[in-house]
Structure 1
Amino acid sequence: MADKLSGGLSCARYMQIRAAYSATRSHDEKTMFFLSTMSAAPQVYRLCEAIPWPVQVTFFDDRVMGVYAHPTEPYLIVSSDVGGSERAQIYLVSHDGQTVENLTSDMAHVHQFGGFSSTGKQFVYASNARDDVHFDVYVYDLETRVSRCVFETDDTNYAAGFSADDRSVFALRMHTNVNADLFLVDIESGDALHLTHHQGDAHFSHPRAAADGRMVHLITDLDSEFARLATLDLETLALTYLTDDLWDVEQLEAAQGGKRLVYSVNEDGTSALFVLDRDRTGGARRVEGLPVGTVVDFDLSKDGAHVDVTVSSPLHAVEVWRVALDRGDVWRLTFASEGSVPHDSFVEPELIAYPSLDGLMIKAYYYKPKGDGPFPVIVDVHGGPEGQSTNLFPALRQYFVQCGYAVLAPNVRGSSGYGRTYLHLDDVRKRMDSVADLAHAVDWLCEHGNARRDAIAVMGGSYGGFMVLAAVTHYPDRFAAGVDLVGIANLRTFIENTSPYRRHLRECEYGTVEADGDFFDEISPIHHVDRITAPMIVIHGANDPRVPISEAEQIVEALQKREHPVEYLRFEDEGHGVVKLPNRIKTYTAIAAFLDRYLK
C-alpha cells in the first residue's frame, strides 16, 4: 500500500501533523490569532468564543513568517516572503482577511517588524533597503502611510519596540550573533542614546519599557555565563539583575506597565515559565501545568492575567496553551491535526551525556524505539552553529522511532544553552573539535545506546549539514549514510557568497577568508570528497539566502564524478529549508526511503 513504509504509517502521514504557534490577541482580547501549518504553508488563523473552530485569515502563496495584532484597531501586521527568500514584506491585514495591503512593497529587501506604539498609530521596523548590507530603523505612520528612517548607520540595526511615551524607539545593533547593543533613538531628532556600553562580547535583547519611563527590563549575558533578566536605569545606565547565573533566560514579556514580568528559562534543554510581580515580595513563581517541552513563544494579555504559550512537547506536538497566572488554571487552546497518528505512539527522549575527545561531557537527547535492539541510529545534528537540540516535538524523529530507528540529537561544543564558555569552544580554528564530538557520539551509541555499529547515519541542516559532510569526510568509518539539508560544503565559498548582510555576522564564528582561508581549505568537505564512503542524499532550496545552493551543487557534482551513490533534491520554490507541505512530504519520504535502503 502507498501509505506503508517500514511496516507502519507513512512518512507523509507524519508530515501531516500540523502545528499552531505565535499567538497574538486582538485589541479587545476577544479573538486570538495564530500561525498554523494546517494549510500547505504557514498561514494566519483566528479563534474566538463565537466560532469555536479556527478560521483561516490569510491565503498567501508562500509562508507567513509572523503575525502581530494591532493594539487599538481590528487589524494585523503580517510578515511574509516569497519562495523562501527571507525578503519579508510587511502587510496590513483586516481581522477577517478581506483587506490585505503591502505596506513596504520592496520585494528586493528584508523588512523586520519591531512593534507598535501604544496608540497603534505607528510601528517600527528595520530594513536593508538602503544598500543591501546594512539595516536601518524606520518608523511607519499608519495614518499618513509614510515611512521615515530614524536611525541610519553602517551597522546591522534591528527594531525592538517603543519607549513608554512613544517618543523614542529601541534599536538592537548586532555586532555579531553573540554581541549586541541597545540604543534609544529619539524619533523626531534622531539622537541615539547608547544604553549598553560594554567590553568584549555581551548580548542585550527584549527591551520592555516600564510605564514610568525611568527603566527598561531586558535580557543580557553581560558579565555572566548565561543570559539573565535585568532592569536598566535609563538615567544612570546601571543594571540590576533579577535572575541567577544558572540557565539562559530566553524570552520576556511585560504587562501592567512593567509591574508583571513573564519570562522563560532554558533549563538543560527543557523550558520553564516564570511570573515575577515587581510590586510584591517573594520572588518569581514557576508556572505549573504546561506540557513538558520547549516554550517556543508566548503572548501576555494587557492586564497580565493570562498568557498564551506555544509549547513544543514530545507528547503533545506544537500547540498553544493558555495559563491563568493568578488562579493557576491551564488549558489547551488549539488542536492542530495529528494526521491520524496515534497520540500514544509519541515517545519522550532521554537526556544523556557522553565524554568527547578531551573529556568534555556532551549533552544529547536520545529517542529510542520499542524492542531490545540493537538499533539502527540517526545522529541528528542541529544548525546554528549556536543552535541547541531541546526537548521538543520533531515529527520526523517520531516517525523514525516508530520505524525502529533510534535518534540521537547531540549538543556538540559550540551549542547554546550551556553557557558562554561552551558556546565559544568551536570558534574558527577549533571547528573540528565539534566534529570530533560526533565521532565520540558513535562510541557512546555502540557502548551504551544499543546501536548497530554498521547502521549509524548522520543527518543535519544548515550548519548541521556542514557537520554531516565534515563527519563523513573526516570520520568515514563511523557513518553508514549521510543526509545533508541546505548544508555548507566549502567554507570559503559559503563566506564569499552568503547574503551580504549576513557575512560579517558569520565571520566571528567561522573566521574570514583573508585570515583563515587556508584553514577553510584544509577542513572543508569539498576538498575531501575522496574519503567519503557513506551513500549521501542532498536537499537544497534554490532561493536560499544563507547557504547558497551552489554549496549543494559542489558536493553533488564531486560525488557524481566519483560515481558515488548520491541523491539530490533541488526545490525552485524553497530557501533555507523546506517549508511547503508538498515539498516536505517529498523531502522526508525520500530521506526515509534512502535510510531504509542503506541502514535496513
Structure 2
Amino acid sequence: MNVQDELIDYLTVNAAYEPAAIPTTRAFTFLTKLTGMPQLWTLDEKDEPVQLLHTHDRVLSVFHSPDGNKTVIGIDHEGNEKQQLYIVDSTGGEPQVLVESTENFHHCGGWSPDGKWIAYSSNRRHPGFFDVFIIHVETGETKQVFTYDANCVPVGWIDNESLFVMTKETNIDSTVHIVTINGGESKRLMRDGVRARFGTPVIIPGTRTGYVLTDYHEDTLYIAKFSLDHLDALARVRHWEQWDIDEMSLSPNGQALAFCVNTGGVSKLGIYYPETDSYILANPVEKHVIDSLSWLSDNKLVFGLKTPTQPGDIWTYDIQSKKMERLTFISASETVGNYWVEPELHTYKSFDGLEVPYFIYSKGEADNKPAVIYVHGGPEGQTKADYNPVLQYLVHKGFTVVAPNIRGSNGYGRKYLQLDDADKRLDAVADLASLTEELAKIHHVDSTKIGIMGRSYGGFMVLAALTHYPELWAAGVDIVGMSNLRTFLQNTGEWRRYLREFEYGSLAAHSDYFEEIAPMNLTHKITAPLLVFHGRNDTRVPVSEAEQLVRDLQERDREVELIVFEDEGHQTEKIGNHITMHTKTVAFFSRYLGE
C-alpha cells in the first residue's frame, strides 16, 4: 500500500455516534458519515446499518416523539450551525419543514409528553438574544413562552404545561428556569446568585422530585436532588471530589439514573438508584469515552463508546445482567486497525509547579524522534481517550504525538478550568513551553523537531506558541484559530460574544492586553513554517482571523499556506475536505520535522 492510500484508509474510517432510543420500540437511531457527511441511520431486522433518511446537509440533532412515530431533526447549511428544524414520520419520506428562518439559529428542546408540541429557542428578535417558543406539530401554531436578552435553550419538558430552560451566564456557568408555557411564568433553581454550572435537569415521572448536574459550592460537577416545590435547596447525592460527572440520563420509569464520571478523559459508567440512594459502576471497557446516554427500556441503556483504537460504535448496558454489548461495528478497519496504538496518561510540572496531564502516543523506543503536540479547542475542551486519525497516522509514521490538557481544560474542576482566564492567558502558553522540556528530558524527543497543531482555541494556542516561544517550534498547523482576541470578539456572533468575554476578558477592559499578546501583532517573531485551514461559513471564528494573519505573513515573506473550505464552517465535516486537510497536514509535518 502506498503512503497516500494508507493515509486515506486512516481518514476514511467511519464511526457510529449519538444514538437516540426510539420510544415504544426497541430500536434506536444514530449518526454516521458513511455517505460522506453526518446522516441519520438505524439497524434493520438483521442488525445491519441502514440509512433512515437522506438529507441535503449534515444532521446535527435528533428528537424522537414520545410514541416513536415521528422524528424532528436539525440540519444546517454548509457548516454555518444555523439549524433549521424538520419533521419526518416513521414510515419514511421526505423531511417536512417545521421551523425555518435561514438567517437564524434554532435549538430544539424536544417533544411535550403528549407529543403535540416541540420547544425551541431562536435569535429572531435580535442576533444576540434567544427566546423560547413552542410549535404545534400538526397545525404549526407557535407561541413565545420565554423572553431572554442573552443566550438560552430549552432542555426538556417537565410535563405538558412546563419546561426546563437553561440560560447561559458565563462561558461555563448557567441557570435553570422552570417556565410555565401558559402565562410565561418563570422560576429559577437556586436564586441566591451563586454562579455555578448546571446541566441535564430531569424529573422523576409522576413526582415533583428532580435531579441535576451542578458544581454549586463545589469544584467538580456532582448529581444533586431538588424539588419543584423548594427550588432554593439542593441535596448532593453522588460526588467524586476529583472528577466531574459530565452526563446523566433518567430511565423511562424513573427508577434508574445513568451517569458518566470523567476520570481524566476516561469514562466510568454508573447507575444510580434514587429509591435506595445507591449506585454501581458498570464493568468497564479498559480505556474508553462514553456519551449520548439513552434508554432503550427501563433496564437497557444505549450509548456511544469510543477508544483510542476504536473510532466509535454503539453499545448497550443491561442493568439487570450488568453486561455490556457492542451493537455496531462501523469503526472496524481491516486495513489499518492493527496499526492503532493506545496512549499512556502522564502528568508533568509546568513552570509554576502545576501538574498538567497529557496523553502520549508513541511506537518504539528510539531516541531523538520528532514530535507533534496537539492542543484541543474550547478553551474549555478536553482531550479524552478517543480516536484521532491524524494523531494515529503520525505515530504510525514514526512521530511521538502528545495531547495535553493544559490549564483551562474541562474535566478537572472549576479552579483548573479558570486558571487561564483573561490576563492569565499566557500561563497556558507557558504550559506548552514546559511540555517541550518534558518531551526532551523524559521521552527522548528531538527538541529541534517539535511541531504543534490545534483547532479553534487550539489554533490560537498554536499561533501564540509560535510567537511567544518561537525558538521551540519546527512547524505549526492552525485550524480555524483566532489571530487576535480583540478582532475575534468584535466579529464573532453577538449570541456568544458576552460568553467568550468571561473567558478571554472583555473588549472594554482588556483590549490593550489583547493587542499586547495577539499573534497577529507579533508575526515578525514567527520563524516556523505555518499551515492554516479555515471554513468560509464559520460563525464562531470568522475566516477574517486567518486571512489577516496569512496576509501579513506573506508580506513578510514567511513560509505560510492558507486553505479555505468554501462549504464548511467551524467544523470540517465533508469527507473530501477532511481528506484534503489531513493529507496536507501529514505531508507538512513530514517535510519540516522529518519522518
Bin of the TM-score, shorter chain as denominator length = over 0.9
1:341 aligned partner: 335
* 1:326-371 Cα shifts (integer Å, max 9, x gaps): 1012211111144543323211111111111111111111111234
Secondary structure of 1:128's counterpart equals strand
400-409 vs 340-349, which deviates more?
340-349
Distance in 2 (alpha carbons) for counterparts of 1:510 and 1:198: 26
- Alignment pair present for 1:185 and 2:195: no
576-585 vs 308-317, which deviates more?
308-317
Distance 1:430 1:592, change over 3 A: same
- Alignment pair present for 1:254 and 2:250: yes
463-472 vs 52-61, which deviates more?
52-61
1:218 aligned partner: 212
Contact 2:22-2:296 within 8 A present in 1 as well: no
Secondary structure of 1:528's counterpart equals helix
Secondary structure of 2:472's counterpart equals coil
Secondary structure of 1:515's counterpart equals helix
- Alignment pair present for 1:567 and 2:561: yes
Distance in 2 (alpha carbons) for counterparts of 1:298 and 1:398: 27
Distance in 2 (alpha carbons) for counterparts of 1:456 and 1:106: 47
Distance in 2 (alpha carbons) for counterparts of 1:93 and 1:400: 42
- Alignment pair present for 1:591 and 2:585: yes
1:240 aligned partner: 235
Quote the offset at 1:28 in angstroms: 2.8
363-372 vs 512-521, which deviates more?
363-372
1:557 aligned partner: 551
1:485 aligned partner: 479
Distance in 2 (alpha carbons) for counterparts of 1:136 and 1:196: 22
Distance in 1 (alpha carbons) for counterparts of 2:251 and 2:562: 50
Which of 57, 67, 72 aligns to 1:77? It is 72
1:301 aligned partner: 296
Counterparts of 1:257-276 in structure 2, within 5 Å, are 257-276=253-272
Distance in 1 (alpha carbons) for counterparts of 2:519 and 2:92: 48
Which of 54, 77, 99 aligns to 2:49? It is 54
2:54 alignment partner AA: F
- Alignment pair present for 1:370 and 2:369: no
Secondary structure of 1:76's counterpart equals strand
Quote the offset at 1:549 in angstroms: 0.1
Quote the offset at 1:383 in angstroms: 0.6
Contact 1:540-1:576 within 8 A present in 2 as well: yes
2:3 aligned partner: 4
Contact 2:20-2:292 within 8 A present in 1 as well: no
Secondary structure of 1:484's counterpart equals strand
2:544 alignment partner AA: S
Which of 457, 464, 467 aligns to 2:461? It is 467
Contact 1:323-1:329 within 8 A present in 2 as well: yes
Contact 2:348-2:356 within 8 A present in 1 as well: yes
Distance 1:97 1:212, change over 3 A: closer
1:403 alignment partner AA: K
Distance in 2 (alpha carbons) for counterparts of 1:194 and 1:316: 42
Distance in 2 (alpha carbons) for counterparts of 1:543 and 1:291: 39
Which of 19, 33, 38 aligns to 1:23? It is 19
- Alignment pair present for 1:442 and 2:441: no
Quote the offset at 1:4 in angstroms: 1.4
Distance 1:502 1:480, change over 3 A: same
2:150 aligned partner: 155
Distance in 1 (alpha carbons) for counterparts of 2:337 and 2:455: 27
- Alignment pair present for 1:45 and 2:41: yes
Contact 1:486-1:541 within 8 A present in 2 as well: yes
* 1:238-286 Cα shifts (integer Å, max 9, x gaps): 11111123311111110244321011110111111100111236x2100
* 1:197-224 Cα shifts (integer Å, max 9, x gaps): 2434201110101223312111001000
Which of 313, 319, 329 aligns to 2:307? It is 313
2:494 aligned partner: 500
Contact 2:20-2:29 within 8 A present in 1 as well: yes
- Alignment pair present for 1:542 and 2:536: yes
Secondary structure of 1:318's counterpart equals strand
70-79 vs 468-477, which deviates more?
70-79
Distance 1:561 1:45, change over 3 A: same
Which of 379, 393, 397 aligns to 2:391? It is 397
TM-score calculated relative to the size of structure 1? 0.96
2:570 alignment partner AA: H
Distance in 1 (alpha carbons) for counterparts of 2:392 and 2:244: 27
Distance in 1 (alpha carbons) for counterparts of 2:172 and 2:479: 25
Contact 1:468-1:482 within 8 A present in 2 as well: yes
2:82 aligned partner: 87
Distance in 2 (alpha carbons) for counterparts of 1:27 and 1:421: 40
Distance in 1 (alpha carbons) for counterparts of 2:213 and 2:303: 19
Distance in 2 (alpha carbons) for counterparts of 1:198 and 1:377: 49
Distance in 1 (alpha carbons) for counterparts of 2:550 and 2:317: 49
Distance in 1 (alpha carbons) for counterparts of 2:7 and 2:142: 46
2:354 aligned partner: 360
Quote the offset at 1:97 in angstroms: 3.5
Contact 2:313-2:331 within 8 A present in 1 as well: no
Contact 1:291-1:316 within 8 A present in 2 as well: no
* 1:159-193 Cα shifts (integer Å, max 9, x gaps): 11111x32100110101121111110111111101
* 1:494-551 Cα shifts (integer Å, max 9, x gaps): 0000011010110001111221110000000000000001000000000000000000
Contact 1:16-1:339 within 8 A present in 2 as well: no
2:418 aligned partner: 424
Runs of 4+ in 1 over 4 A off after TM superposition: none
Quote the offset at 1:62 in angstroms: 2.0
Distance in 2 (alpha carbons) for counterparts of 1:154 and 1:564: 45
1:145 aligned partner: 140
1:379 aligned partner: 373
Contact 1:312-1:318 within 8 A present in 2 as well: yes
Which of 92, 96, 100 aligns to 1:97? It is 92
Contact 2:535-2:564 within 8 A present in 1 as well: yes
Distance in 2 (alpha carbons) for counterparts of 1:326 and 1:147: 43
Contact 2:21-2:28 within 8 A present in 1 as well: yes
Distance in 1 (alpha carbons) for counterparts of 2:402 and 2:90: 43
Distance in 1 (alpha carbons) for counterparts of 2:9 and 2:56: 23
Secondary structure of 2:470's counterpart equals coil
List runs of 5+ in structure 2 lacking aligned partners.
Answer: none
Quote the offset at 1:588 in angstroms: 0.3
Distance 1:95 1:552, change over 3 A: same
119-128 vs 487-496, which deviates more?
119-128
Q: How many residues are matched?
A: 592
Distance in 1 (alpha carbons) for counterparts of 2:262 and 2:103: 36
Percent identity (aligned): 36
Contact 1:38-1:337 within 8 A present in 2 as well: no
Quote the offset at 1:396 in angstroms: 1.5
TM-score calculated relative to the size of structure 2? 0.97
2:249 alignment partner AA: E
Quote the offset at 1:289 in angstroms: 4.2
Distance in 2 (alpha carbons) for counterparts of 1:97 and 1:565: 52
Distance in 1 (alpha carbons) for counterparts of 2:57 and 2:365: 42
Contact 1:485-1:577 within 8 A present in 2 as well: no
2:107 aligned partner: 112
1:68 aligned partner: 63
572-581 vs 251-260, which deviates more?
251-260
1:69 alignment partner AA: H
Distance in 2 (alpha carbons) for counterparts of 1:381 and 1:301: 36
Distance in 2 (alpha carbons) for counterparts of 1:285 and 1:57: 35
